[in-house]
């Protein structure tokens, strides 16, 4: 029953929230938010297992899908939408699906989350298949839309991951991996957009960032697959090439102009390769700069 869920309980620490001064109200909200990172830390092994599983599927040609309703669905769409501009990934590599479709991003679509067949239908519409991975996101852990989608994904052999902020969530029964950071009752009962939403956002960030690191979009802690689309990004790319190749600004810019890619520029400067050779080596290394730099071919 919904009223038994931890996230639905009234929080005794904020019982008099409306009677507090504004500053004390902010302190109370902040104190609750401070509990989120610790809750996520408790499930790091499950997050790591999910990243490895997703990366394996993607390396074999699959994609990552987020499936959710309401706040959970919006957070999934947000994370997915940030991957192409942030990491230069193809737009279909990470996809967010929300119950009710795009209109649900800005307004409530009544009943969409209760459509048990909707999750399967929407996954099918996105050409979801056995080689893909899906993260079903539901703070309650029991949203019918997400349950139906995970059941379908499991049935066809896709990798299924459940993300909830309640212990032992129902959606976990249909997932190979369950990630359930227990954040406790919300500061304001009746909505899971605060602590639960923050925990979900943190986990989704970790899943997608971990995937991109494993795909070679990051070298050390530098985002080397940055897309050179404006002056700021060119400046950022130049500084990265200077740092990683140990060269001056003029040399870095010349290599960037030739290859239009930080990774190619680094290979050209550090190894003395022409752009075509650098591109061949990078492709042979699966786009991973570290692997290309270590090649002895």
pLDDT of residue 109: 84
Report yes or no on 131 lying in a domain. Answer: yes
8-state DSSP, 4:
G
* Residue 113 among the catalytic residues: yes
The half-sphere exposure of 261 on its side-chain side, counting CA atoms within 13 A, is 20
State how far the Cα of 197 lies from the Cα of 36, in Å rounded to an integer: 10
Residue 82 annotated in active site: yes
State which of 214, 246, 266 marks the end of a domain: 214
pTM for this prediction: 0.91
Among 32, 56, 113, 250, the active-site one is 113
194/99 same-domain check? yes
Does residue 223 lie in a domain region? Answer: no
Per the listing, tokens 């102009």 go with 257
User: Same domain, yes or no, for 192 and 245?
Assistant: no
Contact (Cβ atoms closer than 8 angstroms) between residue 123 and residue 149: yes
Residues 205 and 238 in one domain: no
CATH number of the CATH domain containing 260: 1.10.8.1080
Query: What's the pLDDT score for residue 256?
Result: 96
221 is a domain residue = no
> Within 10 Å of residue 184's Cβ, how many Cβ atoms?
17
Q: Is 176 within a domain?
A: yes
Kind of pairing between the strands at 177-179 and 159-163: parallel
What is the rounded average pLDDT of the residues 86-103?
A: 95
Query: Three-state DSSP class for 24?
Result: helix
Instruction: Quote the CA–CA distance of 193 and 12 in Å, as a whole number.
Output: 18
Same domain, 194 and 154: yes
CATH number at residue 48: 3.40.50.10490
Question: Do 136 and 241 reside in the same domain of the chain?
Answer: no
Q: 257 lies in a domain?
A: yes
Range of the domain at 69: 2-214
> Shortest CA distance to 219 belongs to which of 198, 249, 240, 190?
240
| pLDDT tens-digit series, residues 231-266 | 999 999 999 999 999 999 999 999 999 999 999 999
Which of 214, 246, 274 is a domain's end point? 214
pLDDT of residue 1: 56
Residue 273: band (very low, low, confident or very high) from pLDDT cuts 50, 70, 90 = very high
Q: Of the candidates 114, 121, 130, which has an alpha carbon nearest to the alpha carbon of residue 97?
A: 121
Q: Which of 184, 214, 244 is the last residue of a domain?
A: 214
| Residue 266 DSSP code | H
Query: How many domains in the chain?
Result: 2
In a domain, 238, yes or no: yes
Which residues, in sequence order, are bridge partners of residue 136? 67, 162
Mark whether 87 and 203 lie in a shared domain.
yes
For the residues 79-99, what does the mean pLDDT come to?
Answer: 95
Q: Phi/psi at 211 (nearest 5 deg)? A: -60, -45
Residue 82 lies in a domain: yes
Q: Is residue 115 part of a domain?
A: yes
Burial 220-256 (b: 16+ CB within 10 A, else e): eebbbbbbbeeeeeeeebbebbbebbebeeebbbbbb
CB neighbour list of residue 130: distance below 8 Å, 6 or more residues apart: 156, 157, 158
Averaged pLDDT for residues 36-52? 98
Within this chain, do residues 58 and 188 fall inside the same structural domain, yes or no? yes
């Amino acid at each position: 029953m919904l009223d038994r869920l931890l996230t639905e309980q009234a929080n005794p620490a904020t019982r008099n929230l409306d009677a507090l001064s504004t500053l004390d109200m902010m302190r109370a909200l902040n104190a609750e938010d401070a509990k989120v990172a610790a809750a996520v830390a408790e499930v790091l092994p499950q997050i790591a297992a999910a990243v490895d599983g997703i990366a394996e599927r993607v390396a074999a040609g699959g994609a990552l899908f987020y499936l959710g309703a309401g706040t959970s669905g919006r957070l999934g769409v947000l994370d997915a939408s940030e991957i192409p501009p942030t990491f230069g990934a193809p737009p279909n590599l990470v996809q967010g699906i929300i119950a009710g479709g795009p209109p649900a991003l800005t307004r409530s679509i009544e009943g969409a989350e209760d459509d048990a067949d909707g999750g399967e239908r929407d996954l099918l519409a996105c050409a979801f298949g056995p080689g893909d991975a899906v993260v079903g996101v539901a703070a309650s852990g029991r949203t019918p839309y997400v349950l139906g989608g995970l059941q379908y994904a499991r049935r066809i052999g896709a990798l299924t991951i459940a993300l909830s902020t309640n212990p032992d969530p129902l959606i976990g029964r249909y997932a190979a991996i369950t990630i359930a950071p227990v954040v406790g009752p919300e500061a304001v009962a009746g909505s899971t957009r605060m602590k639960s939403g923050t925990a979900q956002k943190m986990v989704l960030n970790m899943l997608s960032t971990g995937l991109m690191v494993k795909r070679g979009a990051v070298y050390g802690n530098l985002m080397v697959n940055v897309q050179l689309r404006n002056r700021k990004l060119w400046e950022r790319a130049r500084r990265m090439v200077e740092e990683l190749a140990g060269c001056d600004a003029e040399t870095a810019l010349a290599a960037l102009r030739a290859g239009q890619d930080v990774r190619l520029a680094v290979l050209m400067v550090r190894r003395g390769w022409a752009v075509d050779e650098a591109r061949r080596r990078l492709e042979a290394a699966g786009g991973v700069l570290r692997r290309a730099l270590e090649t002895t071919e």
